[in-house]
Structure 1
Amino acid sequence: MTPIARQRPTGGVVAVLITCGILASMMQTLVLPLLGELPYIFDTTPSDASWIVTSTLLAGAVSTPVLGRLADQYGKKRMLLIALLFLILGSVVCALATALIPMIVGRTLQGFATGIVVLGISLLHDVLPARKVAAGIALMSASLGVGGAIGLPIAAALAEYTDWRTLFWSVGVASVVVGALIVFLVDAPATRRAAVPFDYLGVLGLTIILLSVLLAISKGGEWGWTSVTTLGLVVLAIVVTPIWCWLELRTRSPLVNLRVAARGTVLLTNLASILVGFALYAQSLVIPQLMQLPVGTGYGHGQSMLQMALWVAPSGIVMMLAAPFAARLTATRGAKTTLVSGAVIIALGYAAATQVSGSLWGLTIAMWISSIGTGFAFGAMPTLILDAVPASEKAAANGLNALMRSLGMTASAAVIGAVLAHLTTEFGGRLIPTEAGFIAGLVIGSGAALFAALVAGAIQGPAEGVVAVDART
């Protein structure tokens, strides 16, 4: 079992890890302002250019649980620095790219850094004193939202007023600085584990399953849901999954400990994570489009990409501000209560958005409400996982939880995208989603959040979690 040696808390340790998480999460929105220009920049088709986004998603999905397992075996700080190195290398490759393939390679390398937030959460659990753990985890979790929200206006401004390569040079330089700070400020406990072979077969099996499922979901609409390629990927995942599970159950040190993952708290928290991820991404697909559509549609608000980004950005700050309140609720009532509350608040924010979609301020405030709920949910889920698994499984289990959230977001992109593509009208010579389509997307997101609250409510355990007990010591 890994010894946990808590160091004297410093604001610098928390701040540098949060900054690291923000940089990693910015990868989700870094290229969004460039989506319309990428086919022209690299002289390719929009379909091929979409791999610049898809490659990051796929790399992150595969690498996050792998980094978690490696962190449990070889040290969380070490793997955090390695993940940061991927981010730096990916940023440099993208900044220098003059063709599509190098750009995809760079974005794939950046995707390998997706697990930074997960590693940061597990590391904070080790290095902070018990009374500060819940607050630290909540703030680190909120960095996911902050990076995505503030990354959009920064990327839009840099893309509009400077060369697009500045985006990647800036991230690369910032990552080097943060990496140096981690080396000197973060004093992680030593990791002592018996030498066991790494589960390469587990990595191969999980990679096949995830790539098959994620490609089928994210590209099914483009390839055709009944096409040979899409159905073939689904069949491949169905065939490989039971074989992979059988191997994982018989491996001495599996990539994913299925026995731990099947425990009630872990299983239900992961299911809730899928639903929360689904709900979260629904808003990201609907509200920015509503803000940017022309006023002449009768329901659009005519905002530019930069203007829309500035309306959206404060939601990330709101999520960060909600983190201390989420930690306090966890300390007094338990992480289960915080997760249920967060899911209900997300649903309320979506419900509010359906009623005020005609107002920019109304949509913005509705996003703030949902962001508060997201901050509560994101802070609670890692706490529930970390308190339910042995020390030797913490990073790996947390990585699996992050993967579940990503699967939910990918499924949301497919479902909400299909709804918006089905409910369309012609405007200015092109098809755009109708107002009814946007409202339907918000209602679906609200339903997913309420379902997440029901699932979280089924988690068994005392009213106060382990963190709450520790907080009084």
Structure 2
Amino acid sequence: MTRALTLSPPPVATTPPVRAGRFTFAALAAAAASFSMLQSLVSPVLPTIQHDLRTSQSTVTWVLTAWLLSAAVATPIMGRIGDMYGKRRTLLVALAAIVVGCVIAAVAPNIGVLIVGRIVQGLGGAVFPVSFGIIRDELPPARVPSAIGGLSALIAVGGGLGVVLAGPVVAALDWRALFWIPALVVAGTFALALRFVRESPASEHRARINWLAGVLLSGWLVALILPLSKAPAWGWTSGRVIVALLLSGLLIAAWVLVELRSAEPLIDMQMMRLPAVWTTNAVALLFGAGMFATYAFLPQFLQTPRSTGYGFGTTVTGAGLAMLPMLVTMAVAGFVSGPLTAYVPKKVQLLLGTAIAAVSCGGLTLFHGAYWQIFVATGAFGVGLGLTFTAMINLIVATVPAGQTAVASGMNANIRTIGGSIGAAVASAVITAHATPSGLPSESGYTAAFAVLTGMLALAAVIAVFVPRTRSA
């Protein structure tokens, strides 16, 4: 059921360690932040793209959905290939895919070509797990938590920065600049990685890829994420949603069975069952739901017309600027989190981060009538994001064998993405169920949605209590 894939062992570069360490991190940081930004950069300007390309609202949402599905499928598979055959090699392929995808999207004459470009961009999802693996391979153990903290902070900030920059970029230039600018940045990152990132040692124990497991993994990810992301438009009780969810359940069962019986699994189920891994992934699922949904719906809340009695009537740019406190505190917390592990265990940071995020989202639920209340809530939320992002990845990296770092961190990122799809779908359903006569959401809809997200984040904090302490945790 598997097909052999033979690749020559990756060459080992001889870049001086000190210089390589500094520039290696710069290349990884630029790659991760750029890809993270592509996730949220187009969200605020979908109406502009819809009008310019003369397409429908339901079709233009595929600009987001296609990227999400592509990244979800590529992340764990490419992460495994990186563990087996060389992380530098895989990183360069991922960066090249981002550049090509951005160029395709930037010159797209119609929505179909734009969606193809987004699919190609999604293949760059491997930059997350491969970057964490390179850090573990290249840096001394004492420096790994700090480096992972910095990279995690940049990933989190990149996602939020996309929301902030989208409006000003489109206002000053054009929506196509949202792809030209990342293409240029990532092209420079490719050159930096080509020069300064050294090849990590390939696995000596794996010479084959279980392609059946890869097909089943891809199948259940698509069958799960697609209906979750489209449920608000299709309807939760529609045949398409129900059939897709049932199919995802069958494919998950088949995938687990194949992996358990395989001598060379794509994703080691024994690793996934490690207490620190599955509990951290459970936190990632719920935390992703709260984080992504807040990213998506808080700007919409701020842009609601003042005539509703609760909205702020801000522009896309103004709504993005309201997220700045979150980006600042997220960056600070993420960068501090790594060095802090010498004094505050990773598990404690995870618990603190999820609890702070839950409290801040609860504050947003109760108090959202003035700008200063929004700023305080988002600022606190950023602290929670920074601590949680870093703690999750550090816990995974400290738990799994070195040869499984990329695939394990890739699955953690994927589980966050699945959680984000669930959170966005649930929040959308709650908000649209509370509409005013004008068709706009009522204040109670947003309040109820933020309350639900608060509950998800609080449950994540409860699960964090049960995450076992890892080595040096």
* TM-score, reference length from structure 2: 0.93
Once the two structures are TM-superposed, the CA of residue 97 in structure 1 deviates from its matched residue by 0.6
What runs of 5+ residues in structure 2 fail to find an aligned partner? 1-9
Provide the C-alpha distance between the structure 2 equivalents of 1:351 and 1:155, rounded to a whole number of angstroms.
27
Q: CA deviation at 1:282?
A: 2.8
* Aligned 8 A contact 1:134 1:467 in 2: no
Does residue 449 of structure 2 align to residue 444 of structure 1? no
Shift of residue 231 of structure 1? 1.7
CA pair 285-192 structure 1, distance change in 2 beyond 3 A: closer
Verify the 8 A CA contact 1:343 1:452 in the aligned structure 2.
yes
For residues 255-305 of structure 1, give each alpha carbon's deviation from its aligned partner in whole angstroms, at most 9, with x where no partner exists. Answer: 111111011111101101001101112322332122111122221111100
| Pairing 1:347–2:336 present | no
Give the unaligned 5+ runs of structure 1. 469-473
For 1:421, give the aligned amino acid.
T
In structure 1, what is the Cα distance between the partners aligned to 2:173 and 2:335? 37
CA distance in 2, matches of 1:272, 1:350: 16
1:311 partnered with 2:319: no
Q: Aligned equivalents of 1:156 and 1:285: distance in 2? A: 15
2:248 to 237, 240, 243: 237
| Aligned residues: CA RMSD | 2.0
Assess if the C-alpha contact under 8 Å between 1:223 and 1:229 holds in 2.
Answer: yes
1:323-402 equivalence runs, <5 A? 323-402=334-413
The question of whether the paired residues in 2 share the 8 Å contact of 1:133 and 1:467 is answered with: no
Q: Once the 2 structures are TM-superposed, how far is the Cα of residue 10 of structure 1 from its aligned partner? A: 4.0
Match of 1:458 among 417, 441, 466: 466
Return the letter of the residue paired with 2:348: T
Against the structure 1 CA distance between its residues 241 and 117, is the aligned structure 2 distance closer, same or farther, given a 3 Å change threshold?
closer
Which residue identity lines up with residue 459 of structure 1 in the other structure?
V
Residue aligning to 2:417: 406
In structure 2, give the amino acid aligned to 1:406: T
Letter in 2 for 1:440: A
Q: Would the alpha carbon gap of residues 453 and 153 (structure 1) be closer, same or farther in structure 2, given more than 3 Å must change?
A: closer
- 1:425/1:288 CA distance change after superposition, 3 Å: same
CA contact (8 A) 1:31 1:155 kept: yes
What is the DSSP-based 3-state SS (H/G/I as helix, E as strand, rest coil) of the residue aligned with 1:36?
A: helix
Contact 2:430 2:445 (C-alpha < 8 Å) held by counterparts: yes
Paired residue secondary structure (2:212)? helix
2:27 paired with 1:16 = yes
> Given the alignment, which residue of 221, 225, 234 partners 2:236?
225
Other-structure match for 2:295? 284
The reply on whether 1:172 has 2:180 as its aligned counterpart is no
1:11-410 to structure 2, matched below 5 A, reads: 11-410=22-421
CA contact (8 A) 2:306 2:312 kept: yes
**C-alpha distance after superposition, 1:101-137 (max 9, x if no partner):** 1110001111111231222122112212222211111
Change (3 A) 1:286 1:49: closer
1:435 corresponds to which residue?
443
Deviations 1:181-224 (A, max 9, x none): 11222234332424522111011001111111111111122222
Deviation of the 1:90 alpha carbon: 0.3
User: How far apart are residue 61 of structure 1 and its match?
Assistant: 0.8
Q: Which amino acid aligns with 1:443?
A: A
Task: Give 1:317 shift.
Answer: 2.7
Report SS of the residue matched to 1:424. coil
Under a length normalisation based on structure 1, what TM-score does the superposition of the two structures give? 0.93
Segments ≥4 residues shifted beyond 6 Å:
none
User: Which stretch of structure 1 is more off in the superposition, 57-66 or 291-300?
Assistant: 291-300
Preserved contact between residue 69 and residue 395 of structure 1 (Cα < 8 Å) = yes
Equivalent pairs, count: 460
The CA deviation at 1:166 is: 1.9
Contact 1:149–1:312 (CA under 8 A) maintained in structure 2: yes
Q: Taking every aligned residue pair, what percent have the same amino acid on both sides?
A: 31
Contact 2:431/2:449 (<8 A) preserved: yes
Letter paired with 2:30: T
The corresponding residue for 1:471 is: none
Tell me the distance in 1 between the aligned counterparts of 2:183 and 2:99.
Answer: 5
Q: Tell me how far 1:374 sits from its aligned partner.
A: 0.8
